[in-house]
Chain A
Amino acid sequence: MSGKVVSALIRLVVNAGQAKPAPPVGPALGQHRLNLMAFCKDFNARTQHMKPDVPVSVTVTAYTDSSFDFVIKSPKVSYFLKKAAGLQNGGGRAGHDVAGVVTVKHVYEIAKIKQTDPDCQYMDLDAISKSILGTARSMGIAVKRDLN
């Protein structure tokens, strides 16, 4: 068989660009003897395209030789839409009331972040944007050309 032997799979959430050897990263990875500095540097460098307070989901694959790989997933589209519209919760009456408003530019920027996600990598920006528009509609968030 090729490849390395997996010793553990670790799941955690870290804010983009802000991994430090402190909790939650420290205990989660330190327990498995992984190089915390290397993870933090790598994670921070790879999340530079996101704003600093975005909570990113990470899955780290730790190998028996103490090396590791990881994949990251940005938060759900609903999280970004809520932030862009300045909302705490999505709308209760989608299709009837408008809970919040975002612009086309917001949708584009969210699409750019989502494009780096593992399951969206082969979709083009157009397709991702359409999907985001659908989510916005289901949340009762209106999309306008610009905010006037």
Chain B
Amino acid sequence: MHTYLPRLLSHSSRMVSILSPSIASGRIRRSLRARDVTLSRGFLHAGTPTAGLQEYRDNSVQRVLGTRVLVPNKNVSDQMVNLAVRLNSRRVGRSFCAHTTAGESVVVKEKSSDSEEKKPFIMQSVRIRCRGDIADGLVEALMCFGASSCSIEDAHYGSTNEQEIYTDGPVPWQTGERQLWEESHITAIFPEEQDVGESIAMASHSIGFNEMPHYVVELMEDQDWIEQLQSMFEPVEVAAGLWIVPNWRAPPNPMAVNVILDPGLAFGTGEHPTTRLCLQLLHQVLRGGERMLDYGTGSGILSIAALKMGASRAVGIDIDPMAITSARYNASLNDLDDQRLQVFLASINGEDPVPPGAAYHPVFDNDMDEGPDNKMSPDFDIVIANILLNPLVDLASRIANYARPGAFVGLSGILVEQVEQVRHTYACYLDNIQVTQDCGWACVSGVRKLS
């Protein structure tokens, strides 16, 4: 595994790994006395033992996970102990603890006062620079050696050497043979505990490339890409007079029906064609006072829109607990309480998640129908299920039976080529089946048969 180490390592010095947050690296350097030590980020390239900070095109300095240090052979363990002692000094206001682990490495951690605080989900994002013609092969190899995903970009993006590649459709599946750019940056994402250097070494080796590519590791937290996602959400007018607005923006048209949303990680921001199709269906059939069931509620967008357009009550179901939280929160953003929107979690074992009587208000509804053995069957005036083909087909009788005879039923989350299967499955439950389409997606709607 060490065949790639540079020959500059003489037998009078040893390589010691120090894992530390970069904020400690200056202190580490001072503690070990600079002239004895070569600090580098990432990997020591043969012949160039250099310390230094890698700067990106935007001149920001990236945080680094690992620091490798060359120390004089004698008294390595003493030096490590000294390092630990010095790092514990409180002069700069942050304290670190350091300990040596088996083999020659030292782990430095920031001492956190609150040991119970929730650990954010952390991944390692590794940026590798390589020639365009090996990028593809290297990506495939990295995927085999532990990367959870990789992306290839133009290394010269943003500069005058930028290279524009055009394509008429998705780049086809031709592993190892395509070359997109002259020089590429690969961004590989690894789990926190993976040894990135080792994975990269094995990947390079496996494609016959014996030099280690130059790489930089950055720690990435949940927040980084979640914020990315949310920043893309703009107000959108999905039907005449109906807007979906993120909760950090003011509605562009205060007079319209505005559904305020904070989608978090649950589905449903209003931009997807299936959401549009369902909202248009609701817009068409709602008269006021209906009881609606939203199977696969996600962010609650369809229920909330229906309530704002005049429905009296809505019940939302989802298999994802995050959707339940999201839907309740979004309901509160629109001044809708528990009485108007109820949400239930569907369990994996497939039991009916909707309790009997859920369609009715316990006090104000007088027309509750008690079926045999005192069980009230849910009787909804509108049932919408914007999910996926398989659950639509598997749960057909349950979904159809939520609807009272004569109720409107809308089924979406399906591609145009999946319409026939849905139509066929629901033919025995629905009359007057119609299909609407938008950008390759479809909505199948109908009226619940009388018996």
- Tell me, yes or no, whether A binds B: yes
Question: What residues make up the interface of A, taking CB atoms closer than 8 Å to B?
Answer: 1-13, 17, 20-24, 26-28, 30-33, 35-38, 40-41, 44-46, 48, 59-62, 66, 69-71, 73, 118-119
CB nearest to A63 among chain B residues: B167
Asked if B236 is an interface residue, CB under 8 A from chain A, the answer is: no
Given known A6-B165, A23-B121, contact A45–B153 (CB-CB < 8 A): no
Given known A11-B139, A45-B388, contact A28–B173 (CB-CB < 8 A): no
CB proximity of A14 to chain B, nearest CB, Å: 9
Residues on B with C-beta less than 8 A from A38 are 271-272
Distance, CA A7 to CA B153, complexed state (A): 6
Extra inter-chain contacts (20) besides given A11-B139, A21-B265, A45-B441, CB under 8 Å: A6-B166, A10-B151, A10-B152, A11-B143, A12-B148, A12-B150, A13-B149, A20-B265, A22-B265, A27-B125, A27-B189, A27-B220, A28-B148, A28-B189, A30-B226, A30-B228, A37-B268, A38-B272, A40-B267, A48-B389
Given known A30-B229, A31-B187, A40-B267, contact A11–B149 (CB-CB < 8 A): yes
CB nearest to B167 among chain A residues: A3
Residues on B with C-beta less than 8 A from A8 are 151-153
Asked if B77 is an interface residue, CB under 8 A from chain A, the answer is: no
CB nearest to A32 among chain B residues: B151
CB nearest to A1 among chain B residues: B166
Q: Which of A24, A30, A119 has the most CB of B within 10 A?
A: A30
Question: What residues make up the interface of B, taking CB atoms closer than 8 Å to A?
Answer: 121, 123, 125, 139-140, 143, 148-153, 157, 164-173, 180, 187, 189, 220, 224-226, 228-229, 232, 263, 265, 267-269, 271-272, 274, 320, 388-390, 413-415, 418, 441
Distance, CA A60 to CA B151, complexed state (A): 9
The answer to whether A70 touches B121, judged by C-beta atoms less than 8 angstroms apart, is: no
28 A-B contact pairs sorted by A residue (CB < 8 Å)? A2-B168, A3-B167, A4-B167, A5-B164, A6-B165, A6-B180, A7-B157, A11-B143, A13-B148, A13-B149, A22-B265, A23-B121, A24-B148, A24-B189, A27-B123, A27-B224, A31-B151, A31-B187, A31-B228, A32-B151, A35-B232, A37-B267, A37-B271, A38-B272, A40-B267, A45-B389, A48-B418, A69-B170
Contact of B274 among A4, A36, A41 (CB under 8 A): A41
Q: Which of B140, B229, B414 has the most CB of A within 10 A?
A: B229
The answer to whether A71 touches B173, judged by C-beta atoms less than 8 angstroms apart, is: yes
Distance, CA A7 to CA B414, complexed state (A): 29
CB proximity of B116 to chain A, nearest CB, Å: 23
The answer to whether B189 touches A45, judged by C-beta atoms less than 8 angstroms apart, is: no
Contact of A59 among B168, B170, B263 (CB under 8 A): B170
Distance, CA A136 to CA B148, complexed state (A): 29
The answer to whether A9 touches B152, judged by C-beta atoms less than 8 angstroms apart, is: yes
Residues on A with C-beta less than 8 A from B166 are 1-6
Distance, CA A96 to CA B143, complexed state (A): 33
Distance, CA A21 to CA B264, complexed state (A): 10
The answer to whether A11 touches B229, judged by C-beta atoms less than 8 angstroms apart, is: no
Residues on B with C-beta less than 8 A from A27 are 123, 125, 149, 189, 220, 224-225
CB proximity of A86 to chain B, nearest CB, Å: 23
Distance, CA A17 to CA B166, complexed state (A): 30
Residues on B with C-beta less than 8 A from A41 are 267, 272, 274, 413
Distance, CA A33 to CA B170, complexed state (A): 17
Contact of B269 among A10, A20, A37, A61 (CB under 8 A): A37
The answer to whether A6 touches B171, judged by C-beta atoms less than 8 angstroms apart, is: yes
The answer to whether A61 touches B229, judged by C-beta atoms less than 8 angstroms apart, is: no
The answer to whether B170 touches A71, judged by C-beta atoms less than 8 angstroms apart, is: yes
Distance, CA A60 to CA B170, complexed state (A): 7
Distance, CA A44 to CA B165, complexed state (A): 29
CB proximity of B357 to chain A, nearest CB, Å: 32
